[in-house]
Amino acid sequence: PQQCNLAGSWKNDLGSKMYVSKVDDKGNFLGEYHTAVSSAQKPIEPSPLVGSQHLDEDGQCTFGFTVNWKFSDSTAVFVGQCFAEKGEEILQTSWLLREKVDSQSSNWKATRTGQNTFTRMC
Ligand code: B9F
């Protein structure tokens, strides 16, 4: 019934904000991620994201995007699905966060994972 276009402003359960500019005709998009949380030494900076989504018109499309943190040498990827019901859009996501480590002996501890739920801000 409803579409699910990722373009726009989103906020997650941690208070992080994400701004996605226009989604193109292939489903590709760019945006900016403002994380509300960080354990980096440096102050948080808005960071670029690049992603792609399916363009199904049932309001339940899947998508993925990568965030390249500007204030740290780590990278996050998110995958998720949109659920558009009764005029409300919810993004259910899972993420992997890769931390830079000094050597392969530390590889085992370099990846964190979790889940975030996003709702549209406007
Ligand atoms: O705090 C992260 C970080 C990476 C290297 C030093 C600090 C960067 C910000 C990640 C934000 C995550 C959460 N925000 C959000 O909205 S991305 C997934 C979560 N959802 C601490 C030491 C090594 C890794 C983390 Fe680091």
Structure confidence at residue 1 as a pLDDT band (50, 70, 90): low
Query: Which is the closest atom of ligand 1 to the Cα of 38?
Result: 1
- pTM, two decimals, is 0.96
Question: Is the CB of 32 within 6 Å of ligand 1?
Answer: no
How many whole angstroms from 2 Cα to the centroid of ligand 1? Answer: 33
Q: Does position 63 have pLDDT exceeding 80, yes or no?
A: yes
Q: Nearest C-alpha to atom 7 of ligand 1 is from which residue?
A: 40
- Ligand 1 atom with the smallest distance to the CA of 71 is 8
Cα distances (angstroms) measured from residue 51 to each of 39, 110, 112: 24, 23, 20
